[in-house]
Each structure stands twice: as C-alpha cells, then as structure tokens.
Amino acid sequence: IFTQVVLVLAAKGLISLDVEYIDGTKIESKANKYTFVWKRTVEKNRARLQEQIRTLLLQVDDVIAQDNAAKTEGVEFTAALLDEISEELNKSLESAPEPKTKEEKQAVRTKKKQLKELEKKRNKLQEYDQHLEIMGERNSYSKTDPDATFMHMKEDAMRNGQTKPGYNLQIATENQFITDFALYANRTDTLTLPSFLESFNSRYHRYAKTVVADSGYGSEENYLFMDVHNMEAYVKYNCFH
C-alpha cells in the first residue's frame, strides 16, 4: 500500500522519484533494557565451556570418554557430538557388570554424576549456540525482542551512555513526502546506505539520480556504490570538517 501511494504521488507530479533525501533515527524497542545478550560474552563463555567439557571427559574413568577427548583435541565440541558421547557412556554403564564391592559401587555413582554433568554442559552449549544463531552478525540482542539490537539512543535522559534495545530506522523523503523506509540492526548509518538504496530500487525498479545525506553516510564504499549506479552524491565525507 505504501509503495502504491508513493507511485500515485509521482503520477500526480508531486514527487519525481529522482532524488532521495536520507536520514536515520534510533527507535527504542519495548523490550526491557536488562534483557541483553552480548556476543563477546557468549563467545568467551562458550570457549571456556569447551575447555571444561574436554577436562571433564579426561576425568571420566572410561575409555570411550577419554578417546573422544583425545580425538577432539583442538576441535570444537558440538551438542550433537556430546549427545553421541553421552549415549555411548550410557550404554557402557548399562552393559557393565553389577557392582559388588563398595569401591565398584562408588565408581558407578561417580560415572553417573559425571555423565549428568556432561549433559548439563551439552545443554549450556546448545544455549550459547542458539544465542549466536539469533545474533548473526550483530553484537547483541534482547531476549524479549530478538530482532532488537542494543545501541545508543539519541535521547539519553540519564546521560550515562547506556545502550538500549532498538532499531535504526532509515527514511528517504522528497518534497516532504516519505518515499522509502527500512529498519536495520546496524547501529551506524554508514553501513545501511547501499542496502537502503537497493530498497528504493526494489520498490520502484529504478535508482534515484541524486542522493542527499549527512556525513554519517560518507564512506569510500558508499561513494563507490553511488558512482557505479550513476547517482549524484551530495554526501559529506565523515572525516571532513
């Protein structure tokens, strides 16, 4: 509907679709600001977990576990691999002779405890992998709004630079009419420009002839993109004062 309305404006001569005046703003998500998940923290904890799993397998008094620990030296464990190891260890326990002595019974209890610990670490590994999958190329996301990324907002009432879950809204206008819009997880406007210009082309099957934007969009990659698509760029370079 939005695109059709803009095309009606163009048909009536109110806009030409030859120029894009582009600017962006941050809009805050309704998600709680304390529901953050940071990629750096997840990656750090995941790496630590990998070492804990390897150490645990070496401690398990079982040929299966120690063989797997040796085979995966320098290789990352996956939840699927840990499932296989757990299954093999369970079978090993079930097929073992009935313990008779006190020491044998204690050994079985220890193995069961270690197996339970391995399963807990597998579940934690799945959780970390899920976090990374949701984030993709982003550096964070909100647990209650997975599409939102933590970023600095233009309005900072507390003046402490706190990041909040939100989106980077890009808007293109002409003659005070909005001609295009898109939401991005990128915190900086610079990285959104090529994609946003392509969004305009997807809507109207044409590129704007002229692009006007502030220095937040100035980069070599963006100038090259506009040059390749024969756009006249009125975009200040971000290091020029």
Sorted by where each begins, the domain ranges of the chain are: 2-34+144-235, 36-141
d(C-alpha 109, C-alpha 104), whole Å: 9
CA distance 239 to 220: 11
> What is the end-to-end Cα distance of the chain in Å, rounded?
41
Tens-digit pLDDT profile for residues 169-185: 999 999 999 999 999 98
Tokens of 154: 């233009």
Cα separation, 108 vs 119, whole angstroms: 17
Please say if the pLDDT value at position 130 is more than 60: yes
- Supply the pLDDT for residue 183: 93
Six-digit token pair at 66?
């120690």
Confidence of residue 124 (pLDDT cuts 50, 70, 90): very high
Alpha helical stretches, state H, the chain: 2-11, 39-59, 63-71, 79-95, 102-135, 193-204, 220-228
- Whether residue 44 is predicted with pLDDT greater than 70 in this model: the reply is yes
Reference 121, options 43, 59, 49, 67; nearest CA is 49
Q: What is the pLDDT of residue 158?
A: 57
Q: Does the global pTM surpass 0.85?
A: no
pLDDT of residue 128: 96
**What pLDDT is attached to residue 56?**
86
C-alpha 109/C-alpha 113 separation (Å) is: 6
DSSP string for 151-199: EE-S--TT-S--EEEEEEEEEEEETTEEEEEEEES-SSSGGGHHHHHHH
Fold of 2-34+144-235: Nucleotidyltransferase; domain 5 (3.30.420)
Rounded to the nearest angstrom, the gap between the alpha carbon of residue 161 and the centroid of all alpha carbons in its chain is: 22
Q: What is the pLDDT of residues 49-82, one digit of tens each?
A: 999 998 888 877 555 555 655 555 667 888 998 8
If you average pLDDT over residues 139-162, what whole number do you get?
81
Mapped onto helix, strand or coil, the DSSP state of residue 22 is strand
pLDDT score at 106: 83
Provide the 3-class DSSP secondary structure of residue 142.
strand
Q: How far is CA 170 from CA 181, 183, 238, in A?
A: 5, 6, 18
